[in-house]
Structure 1
Amino acid sequence: MSLGLISRFLRKISLFAVVCVSFSFYGCGYNTIQVQDENVKAAWSEVLNQYQRRTDLIPNLVNTVKGYAAQEKEVLTEVTKARASVGSVQATPEVLNNPELFKKFTQAQGQMTSALSRLMVVVEKYPELKSNQNFLDLQAQLEGTENRITVSRNRYIQAVQEYNVTVRTFPNVITAKMFGYSPKPNFTVENEKEISKPPQVQF
């Protein structure tokens, strides 16, 4: 066998090996990464839905409290500003690929939680407000929403942890880089504490 034939044979063998390795990575990691990526997106979508539900309750809640405690301008203004801050952050699926935007989102939601907590402290001073049917309905809706936020956030945390472990470990890390998958931001200990304390809405 001539050197030329040997050289061509070795090149074919090398190419075949590269193709086999590529398909091996594809088969053992790509599908898993793709499924987990979709799970993260679905979990994040639910987080956004529940936070939006809470945001939508704010105007009626503020107006109801204002009817009985108009003099509490400071805390009412704080809640309104916090809602505006939440609305200023573009809460889209793209947030998952932007750690800085994710941080801004969690900070804004933390401010909203803190403002609502202070509002509920103010409510304690107004017995007539606490017995108002409209307020009681809003209270029940807010409580349910806060519970759903906690559940959806925990599901997101778990989904991201599973995804990040997958894309950071061998051989999936190679597949992830080949197809443009990277680790996603998660709630840190600091902002998790900040936004995981729901306002006290029970009386």
Structure 2
Amino acid sequence: MKRFLPWIIGIGAILGIILLVVIYSFSVKNSALRKDQDVQGQWADVEAAYQRRNDLIQNLVNTVKGAADFEKSTLTAVIEARSKATSVQVDPTNITPEQLTQFQQAQSGVSSALGRLLVTVEKYPDLKANQNFLKLQDELASTENQILTARTRFNEKVRIYNSYILAAPQSFFLGSYAQKPFFKSTEGADKPVEVKF
């Protein structure tokens, strides 16, 4: 029996090491899964903030439509941009840079059309005094802040996720987990805005 003791100890040590590696790999994968779920949850918050803006835009358009002689082309541009933005879908389980760019371009179209609408409203003193319009305008400003906050938090979750899955030794166990893109500013956002009167 004594001559098999070294074999038994050796096999037990090997099995113990294998068990520790298996337990560690489960721990790493579970942590990655939680971080991935955090990213997906935060993306849902981004989409909710944009959805709130789209809902407010519809109410704003309906309020503006009531103003006599309001420029139809401006309203049409807002409605079309909103429609295009709501048609762009991003899969939070597999966010790609291309999906994110397409989403951002659609949302930029909404921002641009909405900006033109609000500038055009300046010509209509009755509309500017309308309490419903003023309330919707305030809610839109608040929603833009919510969008900024949601995007910032999304990027924070992506940074945590990417740092975790790309770092060693986790990266050895997480081959199926892909790096996620960050939400970036739209092209040209780094340049100062030219204001003309």
TM-score class, shorter-chain normalisation, is 0.7 to 0.9
| Residue 50 (str. 1) matches residue 46 (str. 2) | no
Alpha carbons 2:39, 2:154 under 8 Å: kept: yes
Cα distance in 2, alignment partners of residues 116 and 83 from structure 1: 9
* Residues paired across the two proteins, number: 186
CA drift of 1:100 comes to 2.4
TM-score of the superposed pair, with normalisation by structure 2: 0.80
For 1:7-22, what aligned pairs fall within 5 Å after superposition? 17-22=17-22
| Residue 23 (str. 1) matches residue 19 (str. 2) | no
CA drift of 1:48 comes to 0.8
Cα distance in 2, alignment partners of residues 43 and 184 from structure 1: 13
* 1:187 aligns with one of 183, 186, 189: 183
User: Which structure: greater helix fraction?
Assistant: 1
Counterpart for residue 171 of structure 1: 169
Cα distance in 2, alignment partners of residues 79 and 111 from structure 1: 9
Alpha carbons 1:54, 1:142 under 8 Å: kept: yes
CA drift of 1:12 comes to 8.3
Cα distance in 2, alignment partners of residues 119 and 54 from structure 1: 14
> CA offsets, 1:19-40, max 9 Å, x none?
433433333x333322211211
Residue identity (%) = 41
Counterpart for residue 85 of structure 1: 84
User: Equivalent residue of 1:25, what SS?
Assistant: helix
Cα distance in 1, alignment partners of residues 183 and 89 from structure 2: 17
CA drift of 1:79 comes to 0.7
User: Equivalent residue of 2:112, what SS?
Assistant: helix
TM-score of the superposed pair, with normalisation by structure 1: 0.78
For 1:66-81, what aligned pairs fall within 5 Å after superposition? 66-68=65-67, 70-81=69-80
* 1:124 aligns with one of 122, 125, 137: 122
User: Equivalent residue of 2:66, what SS?
Assistant: helix
Amino acid of the residue matched to residue 144 of structure 1?
S
Cα distance in 2, alignment partners of residues 69 and 166 from structure 1: 57
Amino acid of the residue matched to residue 141 of structure 1?
E
CA drift of 1:64 comes to 1.7
> CA offsets, 1:132-154, max 9 Å, x none?
11211211221221111111111
User: Equivalent residue of 2:181, what SS?
Assistant: coil
> CA offsets, 1:39-58, max 9 Å, x none?
11111111111111111122
CA drift of 1:170 comes to 0.8
* 1:158 aligns with one of 135, 151, 156: 156
Amino acid of the residue matched to residue 46 of structure 1?
D
Counterpart for residue 60 of structure 2: 61
Alpha carbons 2:46, 2:147 under 8 Å: kept: yes
> CA offsets, 1:102-121, max 9 Å, x none?
22112111111111111111
Alpha carbons of 1:83 and 1:189: their partners in 2 closer, same or farther (altered >3 Å)? closer
Cα distance in 2, alignment partners of residues 38 and 65 from structure 1: 40
Aligned Cα RMSD in Å? 2.9
Cα distance in 2, alignment partners of residues 92 and 153 from structure 1: 16
- Structure 1 unaligned residues grouped into runs of 5+: 1-5, 198-203
